Amino acid sequence: CSVCQEYFQNGGGKKALEKDEKRALLASKTTPALNVPQTPKTEDPLPNFGLTNHEAMTEEFLHSLGKIRLLDVGSCFNPFLKFEEFLTVGIDIVPAVESVYKCDFLNLQIQQPLQLAQDAIDAFLKQLKNPIDSLPGKLFHVVVFSLLLSYFPSPYQRWICCKKAHELLVLNGLLLVITPDSSHQNRRAMMMKSWKIAIESLGFKRFKYSKFSHMHLMAFRKTSLQTTSDLVSRNYPGMLYIPQDFNSMEDEEYSSTACYVRSDTEDEQLAYGFME
């Protein structure tokens, strides 16, 4: 997809890492000492962001990529399978084609990450058993939620999905969220801002946002190894709301487009839309 190409191949990821480093350096210079005893400096220039050394990350993650490992959740007809730049794993609770694995993503068990070379991890993905009940963490470069989150009836279920995506992504991997909306760009601005805050609280940072005629596209990169544990002061799961959560009559049109199984043609259009 164009977002993946921009991020992994055209320098977008490198620029994002460089901005993180600059922010961290600026913060270290402007934060008052507060009489805290000085501790020995480590080689990690981004201790507060959960990031590894910038040069090492750029070399290991951005330059040494073979195929981009992509998990398509709610895949239906596995539209990304045809693109050679991806090693695609499509999962769905009710697969429409044999190439899609049966998987209940909400109840998917996340295991310890694989300590293997890239080619061995690729081989592991090509030999997955159907159905999928568990997957190792930090396995994918990209996780796609295409018209998925609005399918679930509660904000907490959407939150769990995003948390699982965080666990399944490598550091600096991308979460792509596509959600339906046929209204004009600013009508759902507050909802999109609320989603941004909620998803970023999990250890993401938004990389890109686009509004198309019938959908929103948000790309988040995983910037922290840890997710927030502060769910008391702010109800982050509740911030992943959609209009039909409130049973508003004026939002029937949004509701009618949110909860249905995508057709083969719609899958094709979505996949090729990524390539534009």
pLDDT digits (tens, 9 = 90+) for 116-166: 999 999 999 999 999 999 999 999 999 999 999 999 999 999 999 999 999
Rounded Cα gap, residues 27 and 178, in angstroms: 33
Whole-Å CA distances, 206 to 30, 41, 66, 145: 24, 29, 24, 15
pLDDT value at position 173?
96
Neighbours of 246 (CB within 10 A): 8
Query: 35-49, 91-105, 262-276: which has the highest mean pLDDT?
Result: 91-105
Q: Per mean pLDDT, which range of 31-35, 107-111, 245-249 is the poorest?
A: 31-35
Strand 204-211 and strand 215-222: the pairing is antiparallel
pLDDT value at position 2?
86
Report the share of the chain in percent with pLDDT over 70. 74
Q: Is 90 helix (H, G, I), strand (E, B) or coil?
A: strand
The CATH classification number of 68-275 equals 3.40.50.150
Listed residue (44, 21, 146, 55) closest to 92, CA to CA: 146
Question: Which residues neighbour 110 within 8 Å (Cβ) at sequence distance 6 or greater?
Answer: 134, 135, 136, 137, 164, 167, 168
Which DSSP helix (H) or strand (E) runs through 70? strand 68-73
* Domain locations along the chain: 68-275
Q: What is the mean pLDDT of residues 52-63?
A: 51
pLDDT of 233 strictly over 70: no
pLDDT value at position 260?
41
Q: Per mean pLDDT, which range of 88-97, 167-176, 205-214 is the poorest?
A: 205-214
Q: Is 87 helix (H, G, I), strand (E, B) or coil?
A: strand
pLDDT value at position 9?
84
Q: Which residue has the higher pLDDT, 34 or 216?
A: 216
pLDDT digits (tens, 9 = 90+) for 201-222: 999 999 999 988 888 999 999 9
Q: Is it true that the peptide bond before 131 is cis, omega within 30 degrees of 0? A: yes
